[in-house]
Structure 1
Amino acid sequence: MKILLIIAWLFSFPLNSYAQKTSVMKTDQTQEAEIKNVIENYYFKGIYEGNTELLRKAFYKDALLFGDIKGVPYFKTAAQYIEGVGSRVSPQKSGKDFKPTIISIDVINSIATAKLNVKMYDFNYYNFITFNKINGEWFIVNKTLTDVQP
């Protein structure tokens, strides 16, 4: 009898009371399209053209960039990165190949991540970009990158 009472007592607790709500985690296609627009029309296009105005529209002013390039640690603020892009010869002007690819985009509420591959000059970059929706607009708030040799 005690065992039946214990079993009945255990089943009286909701089994999913501590489970994560997956409905919050579904990807909103509209949000994903907005992020894709930022990536393609501001980030990729800004890099390709060396267009600092487009990059300023993509990056939150206090965004940070971390990673490694050819094994050398890399750290810049968004302002330093954008200035660097503006002062180099752009892939467009150099005539070198520029092949950007969106590998994935994941959105949860007002945050998102994107995994990108950007082949330019002699580099094969993998970028992990973090977005935040601020005042109704998606901005890059963090970028991590690495250069992978073929």
Structure 2
Amino acid sequence: MKTLLITAWLFIFSMNGYAQKINMMKTNQTPETEIKNILESYYFKGIYEGNTELLKKVFHKDALLFGDIKDVPYYKTATEYIEGVGKRISPEKSGKEFKAKILSVDVINSIATAKLNVKMYDFNYYNFITFNKINGEWLIVNKTLTDVEPQ
């Protein structure tokens, strides 16, 4: 009986330590890792699926978008951009190629930038995304983009 109690106690003690280690790994992500997860889980997934709810979670309501597409100047508010994503046929439903890649992430204090390459439809976009950590959340506050000829 003593052996059984000691074995059970050791098992519970070791499992408790394992759970604490898992919890610490989840909460000790670097800002770069957090931003990469946001880009993959919200931004890329949102534009691929046409999921405006995911995009609303990652864009600050007052974010602005600037750039050029096929040499035509581009300007939208986050609201206009997200509405446009919701109205178009998503890359997922179009069956056309979609490749999204994080090229770099730089973080200094509560600001961060990410350089992305997104190939979708007949476009080869380079995006420069600026994040700001507001109330503990990384949010996109600016997006600049350009479309280049595929190589």
Q: TM-score range by the shorter chain?
A: 0.7 to 0.9
Query: Structure 2: 5+ residue runs without aligned partners?
Result: 1-27
Aligned to 1:92: 92
Aligned to 1:130: 130
Note the 1:51-66 alignment, pairs <5 A.
Answer: 51-66=51-66
Aligned to 1:82: 82
- TM-superposed CA distance for 1:29, in Å, is 6.0
Tell me the distance in 1 between the aligned counterparts of 2:37 and 2:133.
Answer: 14
- TM-superposed CA distance for 1:37, in Å, is 1.1
Tell me the distance in 2 between the aligned counterparts of 1:53 and 1:37.
Answer: 16
Aligned to 1:120: 120
Which TM-score applies when normalising by structure 2? 0.80
- TM-superposed CA distance for 1:30, in Å, is 1.1
Tell me the distance in 2 between the aligned counterparts of 1:58 and 1:69.
Answer: 23
Other structure's SS at 1:96 match: coil
**Which structure's relative contact order is higher, taking Cα pairs within 8 Å and 6+ residues apart?**
1
Q: Residue by residue, what CA displacement relative to the aligned partner does 1:35-87 show, whole Å, maximum 9, x if unpaired?
A: 11110000000000000000001100000000000000000000000000000
Query: Structure 1: 5+ residue runs without aligned partners?
Result: 1-27
Other structure's SS at 1:82 match: helix
> Per residue, is there more helix in 1 or in 2?
2
Q: Residue by residue, what CA displacement relative to the aligned partner does 1:77-105 show, whole Å, maximum 9, x if unpaired?
A: 00000000000000000001100000000
RMSD (CA atoms): 1.1
Q: How high is the sequence identity, in percent, across the aligned residues?
A: 81
Runs of 4+ deviating beyond 6 Å? none
Which TM-score applies when normalising by structure 1? 0.80
Aligned to 1:71: 71
Other structure's SS at 1:86 match: helix
